[in-house]
Amino acid sequence: MINKPFKKIDNCESWEKQNYEFWENQVKKYGYDVKSTNFDLLAEELELFYLEKFVNDGEVICDLGCGNGRTIIELAKKKQNTIFYGFDFVEEMVDVANEKKKKLGLGNVFFYLMDACSEDLKVKFFSRFDKVITKRLLINLKGESKLKAIENIHSILKDHGVYIMVECFLGPLTKINSIREKLNLNKIKVKKFNEYISKDFMRQIEVLFKAKKQIDFESLYYFVSRIFNAYLSTGEPDYLASINKLAIELTKIGVRLVEDYSPEKIIILQKLSNNRNIGGKAYENTNSK
């Protein structure tokens, strides 16, 4: 039985509270629709296209901050010999995911209510997964919480397990915004409770993970949608504009015209051995086998 994470932090306007309430409202509004977790349907399609390449038969895979479960439900449909676990700290997200799983009769995907930063996660799922995915989870966490989540990911991975980080980085957003500014387009803002990944953060986690590969899978699409389509649109740009769809198709067939213009990237990280240090603090495994 998994303990429930906090439901709400009362009487405080912390980023944690904003984070929780934002996602709770999204799922109440949109349920299993992709809009619960992402308004950019085409970007979502591209993420899935690339993620699929990293899922192998016989693996046990965790999606931490799985939202309404769409990503691993889609993967579980295609990869019947892979076991998927999805964790999210919003009860309604987990309920919607479980309903969909039941409706589809999928036996290889499981959803649980769980806070990515909790001790519970580490204790209950220690060394259980071949791979852990985070798809825009870390950007919702700040400071110590972000580090705690990273330590938990390290703990729940098997030895030499792989962390597939699908997160948004600060550098490319700054580059896109500087072009937008020159074209008199509004700057793209991040949500108040979001904190994009910095180079410093990536350096901090080097004690726990070794970066094996970086996949800049979205630059062409992001450049086309956030510069070309934004500039050419009268009024609100349409996420599903033909020019955006073209960028997706070109990316899928391997066309790369620009680099490092998408905040979102996939970083493949390999777990290093335990009992290392992060942020100067001793990090110990209390659950050694």
Ligand X SMILES: C[S@@+](CC[C@H](N)C(=O)[O-])C[C@H]1O[C@@H](n2cnc3c(N)ncnc32)[C@H](O)[C@@H]1O
Q: In what order do the strands lie in the sheet with 109-113?
A: 109-113, 83-88, 60-64, 129-135, 157-168, 264-271, 209-215
> Between residues 22 and 228, which has the closer beta carbon with respect to ligand X?
22
| Beta carbon nearer to ligand X, 100 or 135 | 135
* Closest chain position to ligand X (CB): 67
Site residues for ligand X per CB under 6 A: 19, 23, 37-38, 65-67, 70-71, 88-90, 93, 115-117, 135-137, 140
In the bound state with ligand X, the residue whose beta carbon lies nearer, of 2 and 246, is: 2
Contact 132, 264 (CB under 8 A): no
Q: Give me 219's structure tokens.
A: 């630059």
At its nearest, how many Å lie between ligand X and the CB of residue 94?
9
Q: How far is the CB of 198 from ligand X (least distance, A)?
A: 18
Give me the least distance between CB of 23 and ligand X, in Å please: 3
Closest CA to 151 of 284, 2, 289: 284
- Minimum separation from the CB atom of position 236 to ligand X (A): 21
Residue 115 or 218 with smaller CB distance to ligand X:
115
CB contact set of 157 (below 8 Å; sequence gap of 6+): 127, 129, 130, 131, 132, 163, 271
- Residue 125, SS3? coil
93 contacts 26 by C-beta, under 8 angstroms: no
Q: How far is the CB of 130 from ligand X (least distance, A)?
A: 18
Which secondary structure element, helix H or strand E, spans residue 110, and what is its range?
strand 109-113
Note whether 236 and 180 are within 8 A (CB).
Answer: no
Least gap, CB of 156 to ligand X (angstroms): 13
By C-beta, is 83 or 117 nearer to ligand X?
117
Kindly tell me which of 2 and 243 has the beta carbon lying closer to ligand X. 2
Least distance (Å) from ligand X to the CB of residue 158? 21
Identity of the residue, 37 or 225, whose beta carbon is nearer to ligand X in the bound complex = 37
Cα gap 130→58, rounded to integer Å = 9
Please give the backbone phi and psi of residue 271, each rounded to the nearest 5 degrees, phi first: -65, 130
- What burial letters (b/e) apply to 7-27, b meaning 16+ CB within 10 Å? eeeeeeeebbbbbbeebbebb
